[in-house]
Structure 1
Amino acid sequence: MSLFAVLAVVIAYVIGAVPAAAWVARSRGVDIRQVGSGNSGATNVLRSLGKGPALAVAVFDILKGVLAVVIARALHLDEPVAALCGVAAVVGHNFSPFLGFRGGKGVATSFGVIAVLDPLAGAGVAVIAIFCMWLTRFVSAGSIIGALAAVVLSLCLERPLWLSLVVAVLAGLLIWQHRDNVGRLTAGTERRLGDQPTEKKVLN
């Protein structure tokens, strides 16, 4: 990999690391890491601050994944390198240096990456994930099913091997980030959308 490509990956990581959820919550006087799941993502913002801030965070996080790939393409880097930049953005989101290498679970950012790399698969993933969330009211279940669907769609659509591997890596990372949710789903203690929000911890 060229130095230019390495620089693009680093830039993508920094873009992904921008902690939109934490900063939006802070603007409302709330430490997102001390409320709800402690996760710096749109779902925790939804439960802690409401629909408006959550929508803003979700859109921003999706755009981080999109932007990482678009910048790589604008620099005329090969598609596999652009995809690697997308993965770097997700890693940055999940392990942000701005939050002590904590962060979110990468759902929105991963979707942004997949949608820009493979719009058809991205559309399919969105439909499947949203339907599952609507049906079960479990965001975690919809996210995991969506991740698995992305891998299946990539294989069924006979995408290049490198693209299928990137999608598989993103799916695996997303599922790993949801390992606690899987435990709660199995135990029947996972919170559903619409459940009573947790108490906010206001910043001093």
Structure 2
Amino acid sequence: MNLSSLDPKLLAAIGAVVAYLIGSLSFAVIVSRLFGLADPRSYGSGNPGATNVLRSGNKAAAILTLLFDALKGYFPVVIAQHLGLDTVTITAVGLGAFIGHLWPVFFKFEGGKGVATAAGVLLGFAPALGGLVLLVWLGMAVVFRYSSLAALTASIAAPIIQLQGWGFSAMTVGVIVMSALLIWRHEANIRKLLAGQESKLGQKAAPPAGQ
């Protein structure tokens, strides 16, 4: 099948749906089950992501979750690029994978905040872009030990870095949308940070109230 013969809008829609399904694989839950750990949605922040899996005390499970969550954002974008698809379609693919992580169809739409998947998408868009944003995250995480604060700072930095380094394009819009959703998904963390109640990286946490 010649992809270039398809309507660009249809191609972008198909790419986004396929990427969404890939993004819907909640590796925090999958890896936790393989390791015999509790469902990450049942303890700590209740967020199915690598940071919360780390609160279980199992570093290997957290690392694998981080890796696979990033790869499910990275590979769909890179594959779209290798297929020679246009920037709009590549951006739609990246957003599809990211949104799949936030609202996974296979896990009752109970997804994570999307930090690792967004990093994978950015690395797919441009390795230098993803690398610079990861450096921002790493610097904040090392200094302050708050994953949420590092993610918020990186979310703000991402569209600025993309715009300065690569200029305005459909990809810029995609990065802005991801950053806005990341910040929105961290609303509870922002409140905890302001109240001085946010858990630090690696800190074990009790189950949410009522569980």
Alignment partner of 1:17 is 2:17:
no
Partners of 2:57 and 2:204 within 8 A in 1: no
* 1:5 pairs with one of 5, 12, 19: 12
Q: Which residue of 1 aligns with 2:107?
A: 99
Partners of 2:24 and 2:100 within 8 A in 1: yes
Give the direction of change, closer, same or farther, for the CA distance of 1:178–1:158 in structure 2 (3 Å limit).
same
Superposition CA RMSD, Å: 1.7
- Percent identity over the alignment is 38
Distance 2:188 2:162 in 1: 27
Q: Deviations over 1:117-162 (max 9, x none)?
A: 1222211111111110111100000011011111111122242332
- Could you list the runs of 5+ residues in structure 2 that have no partner in the other structure? 1-7
Give the direction of change, closer, same or farther, for the CA distance of 1:137–1:29 in structure 2 (3 Å limit).
closer
Distance 1:177 1:58 in 2: 18
Shift of 1:26: 1.8
SS of the aligned residue for 2:84 comes to coil
Letter in 2 for 1:3: L
Q: Which residue of 2 aligns with 1:164?
A: 172
* 2:152 pairs with one of 144, 147, 151: 144
Q: Deviations over 1:36-81 (max 9, x none)?
A: 1111100011111421111001010110111121222233321221
Alignment partner of 1:87 is 2:95:
yes
TM-score (structure 1 length as normaliser): 0.92
Distance 1:85 1:172 in 2: 17
Distance 1:64 1:10 in 2: 13
Shift of 1:29: 4.1
- Could you list the runs of 5+ residues in structure 1 that have no partner in the other structure? none
SS of the aligned residue for 2:56 comes to helix
Q: Which residue of 1 aligns with 2:128?
A: 120
Q: Which residue of 1 aligns with 2:181?
A: 173
Shift of 1:35: 1.1
TM-score (structure 2 length as normaliser): 0.89
Partners of 2:51 and 2:202 within 8 A in 1: no
SS of the aligned residue for 2:189 comes to helix
Shift of 1:188: 0.9
Which region of structure 1 is more displaced relative to structure 2, 1-10 or 171-180?
1-10
Letter in 2 for 1:171: S
Partners of 2:133 and 2:154 within 8 A in 1: yes
Give the direction of change, closer, same or farther, for the CA distance of 1:158–1:76 in structure 2 (3 Å limit).
closer
Q: Which residue of 1 aligns with 2:72?
A: 64
Distance 2:57 2:149 in 1: 22
